[in-house]
Structure 1
Amino acid sequence: MTEQAARLSLLVALLVLGLKALAYLLTGSVALLSDALESTVNVAAALMALLAIRLAQRPPDRNHPFGHTKAEYFSAVLEGVLVVLAALLIAREALPRLLRPVPLEGLGPGLLLALLASGVNALLARHLIRLGRVLRSPALTADGYHVLSDVLTSAGVLLGVGLAGLTGLWILDPLLALLVAGHILFLGLRLVRHSVGGLMDEGLPPEEVGRIRGAIVQVLRGRALEVHDLKTRKAGPRAFLEFHLVVPGGMTVEEAHRLCDELERALEREFPGLSVTIHVEPESERRGAGPSPGGKV
């Protein structure tokens, strides 16, 4: 399903690029050109996301025992860099026209084409973001938010170019292009930061860690003395959890093993695909108050 969504994103990006390029050719608007340039980034980003998703879906092998899921983060980082590059290209095109504004032509057909492209992009963005969250795919989610940013900037471009045509204030065209460039630059830098966090083994969000602790408490119910050194990390659609479980001195190895199995099943029900590693320790390793009958972790 992830790969199908990436293919759809690439096809739609090519269609939208064609529509926006035609809108620019009809009008000569530098703001519409900026919109089209961002769509070239969408095409490149969709292609990278497709390649990264294909690589991430490969099963674990001898050299990659934890799988290839981090490949999606490389795609997201490159996409962020391309977004920043697009912002710089837009600024380069717009700055000369601040001094010499150029009247625009063919605004009616050009704006209609741009509006159609934005409508198609809006539907795609909604689909990619929803699917990326469900499948925990950073490549799809990043692609969806990138397309959404394209929709928002396109809406601003359409409004500004329309106002320029109605008022004859052609300087609005390059001014709007520069505003779009600033917005795109911000989004690109934010995308790079988020993706680098995944490459650096950033932990799960606090709300998800809270759900993990709650699931552990529900299973233990005083059967263990303490849980400590709980750590999480994420790698694309997969998440990893490890913690130390302190058990009473009288608990047998078999009983501790059964308890660990229960914990793993409960956690995997709460977080499908979660990889759990539990290190069992004797009572002498207790560090403080843990999940006693009070149920704290």
Structure 2
Amino acid sequence: MSPTQALLLSLGVAVVVFVLKGLAYLLTGSVALYSDALESVVNIAAAAAALLAVRVSKRPADENHPFGHTKAEYFSAVLEGVLIVLAALAILREAWPRLLAPEPIEELGLGLLLSLLASSLNALLALFLISKGRQARSPAVVADGQHVLSDVMTSAGVLLGVGLAWLTGWWWLDPLLALLVALNILRMGWRLVRDSVGGLMDEALPQEELGRIRAALEGALKGLAADGRVLEVHDLRTRRAGPRTFVEFHLVVPGSTTVEQAHQICDQLESALQVSLEGVQTTIHVEPDHKAKHATFRVG
């Protein structure tokens, strides 16, 4: 299933989940279930934004965008984070007065059953989206899956807490849970915005992927260094734009190396990186031996 199809599925499930949670809130009047339903509205908007971003990111490179449109997915993730924060603020506004003046909840049994059904659908969807998003290396799909998963976790807390309020008669637990849900949503929104802004700002790859790149280069350089064809690699830089990974570095070779020989060496290094990290795009700047910095990967 493609990222576009996965997000279409997410959008459809989000609508169904919203209807179920909305009915649960209307039946009970629980502000905690209201907070749960409101987050589903964000899920719908976020899935729609992610779907649009993925479609834009698939456009081929053109004269105005020679590196493609893959960063469009980060804008979607930032928008989703902002929507999450707005939802949290709406929940806080609704829950605070009810905390000061708690009210009993009606028809809670049926409301909890509907909410449980909605959360089960969300759990299956979240696991599916995260798995497919990672396979396709789509930040928008992964972000949508993580958002849905956080919704499942907060819904579980809401169900447990509201059920406890029903059993004990401590109705103040209902708005208190809504406030806790809002704070958790704020945390999630901040993290999502921060990660997406990092992509827009061309942050380096995480240490795990950077380690794979270093290992691939070191393995490929051993043979090349043995006969003196490569002296060192330095100024390694990495970044990501949606599903694409960009790697660039300076390659120091003996001054007597011909252009054709240097080109063959570059092809070997690029092939090694492709095996280590699928879809990587490599840029190599070849330099003569007097440009050596004796840094990063010094060979020989």
- TM-score normalized with structure 1 length: 0.97
Kept in 1, the 8 Å contact 2:234–2:298? The answer is: no
Q: CA deviation at 1:284?
A: 1.2
- Pairwise mapping of residues 58-207 of structure 1 onto structure 2 (< 5 A)? 58-207=59-208
Q: Are positions 1:262 and 2:263 aligned together? A: no
Q: Distance in 2 between matches of 1:254 and 1:192?
A: 46
The code of the aligned residue for 1:151 comes to V
Who is 1:231 aligned against? 237
Deviation at 1:279, TM superposition (A): 0.5
Shift of 1:210: 1.6
Structure 1 window deviating more from structure 2 (207-216 vs 111-120): it is 207-216
The answer to whether the 8 Å contact 1:12/1:120 transfers is yes
1:253 aligned residue (256, 259, 264):
259
Matched, 1:23 2:30: no
> What is the alpha-carbon root mean square deviation over aligned residues?
1.0
CA contact (8 A) 1:217 1:291 kept: no
Tell whether the 8 Å contact from 2:49 to 2:76 is kept in structure 1 after alignment: yes
* Count of aligned positions: 293
Shift of 1:291: 3.9
What pairs with 1:282-293 in structure 2 (closer than 5 Å)?
Answer: 282-288=288-294, 290-293=297-300
Give the conservation status (yes or no) of the 8 Å contact 1:226–1:291. yes
The list of structure 1 runs, each at least 4 consecutive aligned residues, that deviate by more than 2 angstroms after superposition, is 289-293
Contact 2:233 2:299 in 1 (8 A): no
1:60 aligned counterpart, secondary structure: coil
CA contact (8 A) 1:115 1:158 kept: yes
Q: Does 1:276 align with 2:282?
A: yes
Partner SS state of residue 245, structure 1:
strand
Residue 168 of structure 1 and its aligned partner are, at CA, apart by 1.0
In structure 1, stretches of 5+ residues that fail to align are none
Aligned to 1:228, the other structure's residue is in SS state: strand
Q: Contact 1:224 / 1:291 at 8 angstroms: preserved in 2?
A: no
The separation in 1 between residues aligned to 2:294 and 2:154, in whole angstroms, is 54
- Measure the CA separation in 2 of the matches of 1:87 and 1:263: 48
Secondary structure of the structure 2 residue equivalent to 1:278: strand
- Tell me the SS of whatever aligns to 2:68: coil
